[in-house]
Structure 1
Amino acid sequence: MQNIIRLLFVFFAVVLFSCGGFNKAYKHYEEGEYQDAIETLKKLQAKKPDDPLVNFYMAQSLRKSNRLREAEEYYAKVYNKKIPKTHHEDHEDDAKFYYAVVLEENGKVEEALKQYENYVKKGKNRTYVARAKREVENLKKRADLEKIQTFFEVKPVENLNTNFAEFAPVIYQDKLVVSASRDKAHESDINGQKNLGIYYVPLQNLQSGEAKMQVFDPNIHKENVNEGTPTFSRDGKTMIFARAAPINRKKGPKNMKLYISELDKDGNWTEPRLLEGVSSADNESYYGKPTSKSFPKAYAWDAQPFLSADGQRLYFVSDREADDKGTRSIGRHDIFVAEKKKDGTWGNVRNLGKEINTEADEYFPYVAPDGRLYFASDGHPSLGGLDIFVAERKDGKITVENLGRPINSPFDDFGIMFTNDREGYFSSNRAEGKGDDDIFYFIDKNPGKRTVNYFVKFKTIGVKKDETEIPLTNAHVKILDDNDKVLQEFYTNENAETEVIPVKDDRLAFKVVADVSHQKKPFLAARNDFALVKIPEKYLPPKPVIDTTFVYELKLQEYDDKTKFTLNILYDFNKWNIRPDAAKILDELIVFLKDNPNVKIELGSHTDAVGNFEDNDLLSKRRAESAVEYIVTKGGFDKERITPQGYGEYVPRVITKELAEQYDFLKEGDVLDEVFINKFKDKKTRDLLHQLNRRTEIRILR
């Protein structure tokens, strides 16, 4: 679609060079005559094929006339080259940004991402940097968009499409009306393609064979200008469309404006007139003031209108700057809405806001019979180029969703409309067409309610001391309720997997314990909480009944008599009674011992070096005994399974890798003895190190 947009939209001239072949090319470029600029630049290239400035403007002209693959070649030629400035413009910076743009447009996602990231780091233009950041985010989201599953089936309208452009379909009575270019039309000086016009084909011809297009109405059609994207009132008596005026060298370049025509009493369309209140008339001077304060500047680009079903609202696209109402575009092209007044005139134009419009381009608004707004955008996360999105208000908030494949593709997809609640047409320049933009038919075969059956399967894996992993067969796997009551239990097979287990809707969260204690293998039980997250509707495959199996891995850690772990048990000063916060931690140790019935442990209590040796020895011994008494009493264990041991201050803590990552002034292997601690002058740091020494350690005895 970008070729149509670039065909219709032009930039105004700022300053012209004084003489020479390049000045002529530059003048064409600044006036939006990209095809003429390209022809002039080609002559210059014949003499200077490696001239950076000529190649840069060739790249720019090709990009703006939608010849993106050719543009990529020229941006690559000037990338990181010294390019002379024109009017203080930094062409080297522009080339780096737009090289990323054309790479993305040409489907080279990884290369584009790299170039955008480079520009974010080194780019000079703040507007481009913001766009580059947005594109980096969008490209990283593309993988999620690829996962969207739909019931849409899409096929090109073979007997309508040609190697010319056909796009923006709309139904009018028994006709399919499209905007199109044709062989006999005048050639555009923007990109060398044929001017656009409004054509139609009888709907019955789409099914029966030859679908030769005809001019919609001779009173509307003008060969020497671009016009298109009509919208019709429900009674069929009013048409609003976009038209560009021919270039007037004295007043500036042509721009799209909205025009209105009505059926007269004889059934003929009246001479189109400017849609006042929405589009402005040409100014006497291009750089002068608007003819009316209520209109945007005359060089604003207004196109792609859509009338609401009740005829009271007109949606359209514009790049207008701020007017006296404060209305302006957020990005390059935005969607606006105007309201019909009681006297039949139009006004109260407003931007649809940041929920819909981005800093990039939004095009082709369409309100479906169900009230949802469809539009095309390359600013919201897309599959590439323009994608079609749907917006609706849910719980007072506007949500925007990408329609996904096959409606969208890495190419430009836009201009959707529905003929009923399941079928319709849209436009695309994807490879399945015949060239340029083409019309595609779609049908939604969603059967309505879908049944999704969820299943789980568990794999038991042993993690050895060297961190290698091995399958653990014949492992005992139990699914527990909130009170640790066994709901189901299984043993893993020769592949270390359980059978596939159906999941009921009323139990999507569950606890699972896996152990190999019955095999006397030195692996600690794995206890995990799982919450099954249902797959969002848009990611479900297009089938009426879907079976989905989640596979969870349960990893059991190998242990030996050197295996230790630390419990963060706190005691009151010079006390050994079990506080409520310590009880919670010891309760977790009780669960661990129940999950591992073959394991015996030593519970060692350590103090800091504050105070004297004898007091610390006694205090650590009492704390260890108090903790063991709590565990044995509450857990109902044999006392022989747990050995209390008081270490006092004799075994200072050795800093692990995890602690070194937590405290940047420590490194792995540091020993927190008195000599080490007293090196720190800051009392707060010394207190912290003493606190790290106060600990309870669990060592597995066998």
Structure 2
Amino acid sequence: MRRKSLLFLLSAFLLTAVVHDEALAQKDKYRNKANDPVAQLGYEKKLRWADGLFKSGSYYNAYDYYQQLLQEQPRNPYLVYQAAECAWFMRDYIPASKYYGYAYSLSSTLYPEAIYKEALMLKMQGSYEQAITRFQKFITDNPKTFKKLKKRAQREIDGCKMAMNSVNNPIPANVKNLGANVNTAYTELSPYPLGDTALLFATMKSNNIVEVGKEKRSDYVSRFMVSHKFKRYEERDTFQWPLPFLDGRFNDDKYHVGNGCFSPGGDRFYFTKCLENEKNEMTCRIFCSTFEKEKWGNPVLLGEGINDDGSSSTQPYIAKVGKKEVLFFSSNRVLQSRGGYDIWYSVYDPRQKTYRRPQNAGKQINTEGNEASPYYDNRVNKLYFASDGWVTMGGFDIYSANGGPSRYTNLTNLGYPINTSADELYYIHDPMGKPDAYVVSNRPGSIALKNPTCCDDIWRIQYEPKIYAMGKVLDQKSQKPVAQTVVKMVDEAGNIKTYNSENGEFQFLTARGHNYVLTADKQNYTSTRATVSTEGIKRQDPDDTVFVTIYVDSVFIDKDFLLKNILYDYDKATLRPEAAASLEELTTLMKDNPSLDVRIFSYTDSKGTEAYNKNLSQQRAESVVNYLVRNGIERSRLSAQGMGKDNPVAPNKTESGKDNPDGRQLNRRTTFRILTDVPTRRTIYDSSKPGTIGEQEKNLELGEGVEDTEPADSDSKFGNPGSRVN
């Protein structure tokens, strides 16, 4: 089974189980190992067979035979490393990390880079803490070698930290797989929305293993398909079974076809044709078809330097940038390249119908790694593209940059959940209405032929309305802002976000369908709470801002506070129903101010002996403590003390010596005292989270900004082995 880079994704290892002859089809022909003649070979012959399969690109078959050989020699570092390499090429990150780690433990001298690759595979599966540890060990274990790769390892560590922060602060968006009508077990690519009713994309449209020789070539080349949305479904963006795209003569029985887009006027259609050579290397060319005389003309190979001899040109996207039509594309040409695949552009002259000489998009966009799938949205004047050379959450991430076509600013990683630990490419917005989007990814949840992350699907990005909770922290007495305060926002599930307010102002980005409680935390202050509800908000609703105020007051240590209506019947310690409101207020105070320790004092009237009243009042104080504990307050923060008949607040008897029931009732009371304000239990601001209003908004909406971040260095020996563009 030979894996072919069919769908031309820079990162995406397209899992096409395509085989070129009976020798490479061996594994499929003999599915029962007992009937497989290769399985019966001796060690040396089977090893040569496995190595031959590996060199030819048949990684799945090679992987199976390396595992058979490992049963004979389980501690052979070469076999372990080769199994790891196969798993990496198959984008099966979990066994890849396991085998790389084992190879390093068996022979770190022979395979010193294995620990770097292990860390990379841990990162690609989202195990960021483990990946950081292994990247750091790679740096430590190689003090004098692998200079470029160590710099890249540090870049990967930065990416892990960015990813963890982004996952904890996701942008308001849902990302959903388009489903089995559109996606298959093979790779889908280049989604292109046709208005709001249909989606053009490229696919092989197969869920079964394809063997060359048993099927016609036209059965396994990729081709354009179009899928229309169901009109009457409650859930939008539900797509029908796709049909061949027959607008023009674009699909070809010989070539892999994809990456389609229309010119701004709709009269030209750009796309790519790709063909693999004997070494399974894909070369792509950009074609253009013009609509004339009520039909599409024959596709014409673009000249004028757009298609460069000896390299691939792919993923065209043409858009208006200012008053000019600009054709963006990705190419691995060498001259003026920054390394790998770069984003290039050419200005189109509609009068002369010619293209200017292509120019590199520059160092603000391109790195020594790979950049791919450019898309320009002239509504916001931004270029979107995929890159594995900047700081990323996994493999390829989607980035945006303002400006164009040659100068760019504000390079930004779009953040989670658009980007994940897997590969993301082909980001594109809807052409009208709310700017939802599409992206291609091999994240878990994709329809897979072999392993959960083998293959790329098209995913739908549905942006949520941006609902901000904005406000101030004010001093209860002076009504002035309180600076240097940590504001906390907690949802109904207990998830917490913090904001370091330098001047008393704060802003949070909330999610739809939640109830939030906001409090402030500052040494020697207690906080009230504010609430924000987003439960009634719909996805189609516009952005909104809710303004709230949080009041704080000075903490009074060792001062008694009366709990109103915490009164008791004669000779009883049971809490009365009217006590609930005051007890809830105390519970809220304790929850919103976790640094406080409190002592509960309870009293009796003067009837009864000293010893009896001490015991009864102790029971009353403990009844309050038990109530607080039942409602979520740690017992360690509470203490109870019965005061008996001490310190009456009203006369137990009248001046004439008669019993005074009203006074006795007031004396049967409860108070509380703040004993300590423990600094270590206050919320400590996490400096990795956003800290000012402007920065918070940018980071939460778009993930971590990376403007002015240098690109990662590439090392061709250890670069992504699955890098292909088409």
- SS of 2:289's partner is strand
Shift of residue 71, structure 1, vs aligned partner: 1.9
The residue aligned with 1:178 is 201
Q: Is the 1:238–1:261 Cα contact (8 Å) retained in structure 2?
A: yes
The verdict on how the C-alpha distance between 1:154 and 1:348 changes in structure 2, with shifts beyond 3 A counting, is same
Q: Is the 2:399–2:413 Cα contact (8 Å) retained in structure 1?
A: yes
Question: Counterpart amino acid of 1:418?
Answer: H
2:333 to 309, 320, 327: 320
1:234 to 259, 264, 271: 264
Pairing 1:6–2:43 present: no
Question: Counterpart amino acid of 1:531?
Answer: E
Question: Counterpart amino acid of 1:52?
Answer: P
1:391 to 384, 388, 401: 401
* Cα separation, 2, equivalents of 1:47 and 1:54: 10
Q: Which has the larger radius of gyration?
A: 1
Q: Is the 1:263–1:270 Cα contact (8 Å) retained in structure 2?
A: no
* Cα separation, 2, equivalents of 1:44 and 1:269: 56
2:385 to 351, 356, 375: 375
**TM-superposition CA deviations, 1:364-406 (whole Å, max 9, x none):** 2211232212223344444434332322259x97112233333
Question: Counterpart amino acid of 2:373?
Answer: F
The residue aligned with 1:202 is 228
Pairing 1:62–2:81 present: no
Q: Is the 1:455–1:548 Cα contact (8 Å) retained in structure 2?
A: no
* Greater RCO (CA < 8 Å, at least 6 residues apart): 2
Pairing 1:334–2:342 present: yes
2:295 to 260, 267, 278: 267
* Cα separation, 2, equivalents of 1:43 and 1:308: 53
The verdict on how the C-alpha distance between 1:206 and 1:235 changes in structure 2, with shifts beyond 3 A counting, is farther
Shift of residue 414, structure 1, vs aligned partner: 3.0
* Cα separation, 2, equivalents of 1:272 and 1:26: 42
2:191 to 148, 155, 169: 169
Question: Counterpart amino acid of 2:520?
Answer: F
The residue aligned with 1:134 is 155
Aligned-residue RMSD, C-alpha: 4.2
Shift of residue 92, structure 1, vs aligned partner: 0.5
* Cα separation, 2, equivalents of 1:228 and 1:344: 23
Structure 1: unaligned runs, 5 residues or longer: 10-18, 84-89, 282-297, 457-478, 480-486, 490-500, 511-528, 557-702
1:120 to 139, 143, 156: 139
Shift of residue 120, structure 1, vs aligned partner: 1.8
The verdict on how the C-alpha distance between 1:54 and 1:143 changes in structure 2, with shifts beyond 3 A counting, is closer
The residue aligned with 1:98 is 117
Question: Counterpart amino acid of 1:142?
Answer: A
Structure 2: unaligned runs, 5 residues or longer: 1-6, 17-43, 213-218, 449-454, 486-499, 526-553, 555-726
The residue aligned with 1:280 is 308
**TM-superposition CA deviations, 1:574-625 (whole Å, max 9, x none):** xxxxxxxxxxxxxxxxxxxxxxxxxxxxxxxxxxxxxxxxxxxxxxxxxxxx
- Choose 201-210 or 150-159, whichever is displaced more: 201-210
- SS of 2:13's partner is helix
The residue aligned with 1:72 is 97
- Choose 122-131 or 167-176, whichever is displaced more: 167-176
Shift of residue 233, structure 1, vs aligned partner: 1.1
What TM-score, normalized by structure 2, do the two folds share?
Answer: 0.54
- SS of 1:74's partner is helix
- SS of 1:6's partner is coil
Shift of residue 105, structure 1, vs aligned partner: 0.3
- SS of 2:426's partner is strand
* Cα separation, 1, equivalents of 2:471 and 2:513: 12
The residue aligned with 1:215 is 244
**TM-superposition CA deviations, 1:177-220 (whole Å, max 9, x none):** 1122322898489xxx9653322113457959761122324833
Shift of residue 104, structure 1, vs aligned partner: 0.6
Shift of residue 109, structure 1, vs aligned partner: 0.9
The residue aligned with 1:412 is 423
Question: Counterpart amino acid of 1:334?
Answer: D
* Cα separation, 1, equivalents of 2:46 and 2:75: 16
Shift of residue 343, structure 1, vs aligned partner: 4.2
Identity of aligned residues (%): 20
The residue aligned with 1:258 is 286
Structure-to-structure mapping, 1:644-655, within 5 angstroms = none
**TM-superposition CA deviations, 1:227-268 (whole Å, max 9, x none):** 32222212333222233213236xx83333333333453524
The residue aligned with 1:247 is 277
* Cα separation, 2, equivalents of 1:433 and 1:58: 24
- SS of 1:309's partner is strand
The residue aligned with 2:589 is none
* Cα separation, 2, equivalents of 1:346 and 1:30: 40
